[in-house]
Amino acid sequence: MSDGAERPGVLPEVLRLPSFALFWSATTIRAFGSAIAGVAFQVLIVSVLNASPVEISILSALGVVPYLFFGLIIGALMDRWRRQRTLVITSVGRVVVLGAIPALLLTGTLSFSSFAVVILLLGVLTLFADSAAQPFLPHIVPRSSLMMANSRLAQSETVAGTAGPALGGVLLSLLGAPILFAFEAVVNAVAAILQSRIVVQEARPQRRPEGRHIGHDIVEGMRYTYGHRTLRPLALSVHIWFLGNSIAATVFAVFVLRDLALPPWAFGLTLAFGGVGGFLGAMLAPRIGAKLGAGRAILLGRTLVIVPWLVLSVMPLDASSSLPVLVSVISVAQFLYGLSMGIEDANDTGYRQAVAPDHMQGRMNSTIRTVNRVVFFFGALLTGFLATVLGYQPTIGVATIAFAAAALVVALSPLLNARHEDVADVSIE
């Protein structure tokens, strides 16, 4: 039996596919590198640049700006560009940009403006990489294996996001920021080599017909996404989920650290439980999706996320609560939060990649992703107003309502009965 052969009733192990193994390896080392370097970025912003709160918010916004202004455009371009070539070029671009940071540090020329340019360029390169990666995956993995492939990617990214910051803190203390950023540049160089070695047959991108411009492509992608029988409710559901998540993620840290007076070490411990939950959810996602179907697996994740935030919004917790109680409740909440995302992410992304034709992959994914970023951006701004007027726990309650609405969209739509193996029969209304 060949590496890519599948037996009935057995979930295929996609890491046995050479092309996916290279793609997974490149994605994984980049995820670890980014998580490790993330600590150095924060230290530079706070300790080296001595950035003010306004400057910190500007730097944070610069990471999202490319998605807001260029997300739809780059998504449309990905349907007419070679995706593998784009991945390699963006990795090489990150090598150059990250390699500039040690040079700026060692020459004493790092400033707020130069660092802002670095953040903006990295945001643009990440946007190109994300826009190429999702539509590229169906070229190297059978569509029946996309759920497993996304599960494997989610597992490694969860481990990177959990262990990377701790490792980054240690390496930053031992090596210093210049060497750490040089290491991150090397990581991206290795990723570029791995990506270039992927053997894949990408169809020659179609030329845009005479009289059409990129705006037509963008509109066509949006019409496809929001006119599709099952992609429409999936997109609307995830948009609403992002609204809830923007509120919850924005208010969570300040509620736990300020209102509940949780010590920083305990706060880090509770976040680690979220990583454990995410890893377990990603492991279970393929089997849950195969047994329940894509729609019901997504609904399970959307429903499960309601529980932790509902508990945090109604449970009588304050700074006088005992530390063991606070740590236990918040740790369980974070575990369930991570578990829910692990279950739904692989099924959500895998279903999207399987149902859309290749010439729509870039635009479909960029449409959903860009609207998600816009919703998150304005949701985070709304959170400040809600927290000021209502308080932290009622604001978490608003997030809970949004999560419930996201689950309701799935439960009352044709997406509920969608299965990964039935995607060929799904069509536009």
Q: Residues 308-326: pLDDT tens digits? A: 999 999 999 888 888 999 9
Mean pLDDT computed over 141-152: 84
Q: In the prediction, which pLDDT does 374 show?
A: 86
pLDDT at position 423, please? 59
Under the banding of pLDDT at 50, 70 and 90, the label for residue 378 is confident
Give tens-digit pLDDT for 231-241.
999 999 999 99
Q: Give the pLDDT band of residue 429 (cuts 50, 70, 90).
A: very low
Quick one: pLDDT at residue 244? Answer: 94
Structure tokens at 359: 């010439």
Alpha carbon distance 386, 382 (integer Å): 6
| pTM confidence score | 0.78
Q: What mean pLDDT do residues 180-209 have?
A: 85
Give the angle subtended at the CA of 80 by the CAs of 75 and 81, to the nearest 5°.
Answer: 85
Mean pLDDT (the chain) is: 85
Q: For residues 369-384, give the mean pLDDT.
A: 85
Q: How confident is the model at residue 134 (pLDDT cuts 50, 70, 90)?
A: confident
Distance CA 203, CA 209 (A): 17
Determine the pLDDT at residue 399.
95
Whether 348 shows a pLDDT value over 50: the answer reads yes
Q: Where residue 8 falls among pLDDT bands split at 50, 70, 90?
A: very low
Per-residue pLDDT band for 284 (boundaries 50, 70, 90) equals very high
Rounded to whole angstroms, the Cα distance separating 307 from 244 reads 13
| For residue 3, pLDDT beyond 50 | no
What was the pLDDT predicted at 168? 77
Percentage of residues in the chain with pLDDT exceeding 90?
37
Work out the average pLDDT over 330-345. Answer: 93
Place of tokens 């000021």: 388
Question: CA 53 from chain center: how many Å?
Answer: 25
Q: What single string gives the DSSP state of each residue in 187-205?
A: HHHHHHHHHHT----PPPP
386 vs 212: which has the higher pLDDT: 386
Confidence band for 154, pLDDT divided at 50, 70 and 90: confident
With cut-offs at 50, 70 and 90, classify the pLDDT of residue 53: low
Mean pLDDT calculated for residue range 178-195: 92
- The mean per-residue pLDDT over the stretch 22-36 comes to 90
Calculate mean pLDDT across residues 187-208.
Answer: 84
**Section 42-68 average pLDDT:** 75
Instruction: Give Cα separations from 337 to 180, 304, 378 (angstroms).
Output: 31, 8, 22
Q: Span 65-89, mean pLDDT?
A: 85
Q: Is the pLDDT of residue 258 over 60?
A: yes
Task: Give the pLDDT confidence score for residue 49 in this predicted structure.
Answer: 81
**Measured distance CA(229)–CA(234) in Å, rounded:** 9
Of 357, 344, 347, 358, nearest in space to 424 by CA: 357
Q: At what angle do helices 214-227 and 231-254 cross, to 10 degrees?
A: 90
Amino acid at 51: A
- pLDDT at res. 203: 67
Q: Is 377 in contact with 247 (CB distance < 8 Å)? A: no
Say whether pLDDT at 214 is over 60. yes
427 has pLDDT over 50: no
pLDDT in tens, 107-127: 888 888 998 999 899 989 998
Q: Which amino acid is at 117?
A: V
Q: Is 261 in a helix, a strand, or coil?
A: coil
**Mean per-residue pLDDT, 13-39:** 88
For residue 264, what pLDDT is reported? Answer: 75
Segment 196-223 shows an average pLDDT of: 78
The yes-or-no verdict on residue 349 having pLDDT over 60 is yes
Distance of CA 227 to the CA centre of its chain: 24
* Residue given tokens 């208010």 in the structure block: 251
**Which segment, 111-120, 150-159, 353-362, 375-384, is predicted with the most confidence on average?**
111-120
